[in-house]
Structure 1
Amino acid sequence: MSQSLDRGLEILKSLLSAPKTVDEIAADLDVHATTAFRLLKVLEEHRFVKKMENRQFCLGPAFLGLSSTFMGNNILIEVARPFMVRLNYRTMQAVHLAVFDAGEAMYIDKLEAKHGFRTHSRIGLSAPMHASAIAKVILAYLKKRERDALVESINYERFTPATIHTREAMRADINRTRENGYATEVGEQEPYMNAIALPILDPAGRLLAGLSVSAPAPVMPFSDLLELLDDVTLTCKDIASELLSRDQP
């Protein structure tokens, strides 16, 4: 299995330069043509490669979709990082950046708090849609059809007694988030951890990402955390403005 995976990745790297025939790919990998063809068929089934009319294979939509997502997130991280550093310095608390990806809220950047407490979040992993402030704000600002579908499909696992565990409560939280313009997390994922999160929106009001500040209750009571809303709001606006300026010719 590991050898097949290795060869599959070698095929994708080979096709980065140009479309190729089965024989050309087999020569690149130093394998028999039947082996190369078998690997290509698997990649084609998953849309990572595509067979062209001239019998050559090229990179497929699944690979190109991953590439565009990666590049888009890289630009977002590059733009957001200086503003996240500023927010982290002002608040002294953990700052997270997340995007909606394949039905989940995925962390793409994080700055730890200046004190000794550490959050359990990890870059590249997802946040629970019903228990994390940053995931809840992303959920609230999705298109209605996506939002409604996710509310139905979420596994409402109870991490703490405060965790949202019904669809009705989730819908009420979404309405409250959209009305307030921010989401909250009060001991819903970890008993001692609180957070606030706001959306980063484009000029048309479409969701780009979510930004949150998290603080353990012993360090900062939730009432004090709410006083950081203006700073987080400004940070989201600055990130959105800088992203827009990058798109200008």
Structure 2
Amino acid sequence: MSQSVDRALTLLDALGDAPLSLEQAASSLGVHKSTALRLLRTLEEHGFARRQPDLRYRIGGRVLSLAHRALEDFDVRQVAAPYLAALNARCGYTVRLAVLDDGEVLYLDEVAGLPGAEPSRIGRRAPVDGTAVGRVLLAGLSADGAREEPELAAVRRRG
């Protein structure tokens, strides 16, 4: 592993948490200030860091553009597929991938269970309150965004 690349990525991660002074950057890496300054200037030159008027460094806009590109290429179905298959193999039941969309459950993918299981729901919508997956999704919302119902509280407790 390249020590310089490792240090730069460690520094970039630290900048994502909070702005850092040169001294803080050097301390977080365990290096001399001159080494930290070279890394910060390189990150700044490429847009991954920016120096504020108070001389602290913070994460730069280039990180946002890379994150945006990564999200554009992110296919949740592809990422979830091996987990759906593993869960299906372990339990034998139909396993579904769903999201909350406009107050409804939207089914994105599934791995069929035992023969004779119900037909595919991929692409279909269902009322969020009328499905087990809907209750699980609602229970996973933050307290601000979730409805407070006794049944959802029970789902939260069961994990």
TM-score (norm. length: structure 2): 0.46
Q: Which has the larger radius of gyration?
A: 2
TM-score (norm. length: structure 1): 0.30
Per chain length, whose mean CA-contact separation is higher, i.e. which structure has more relative contact order (CA < 8 Å, sep 6+)? 1
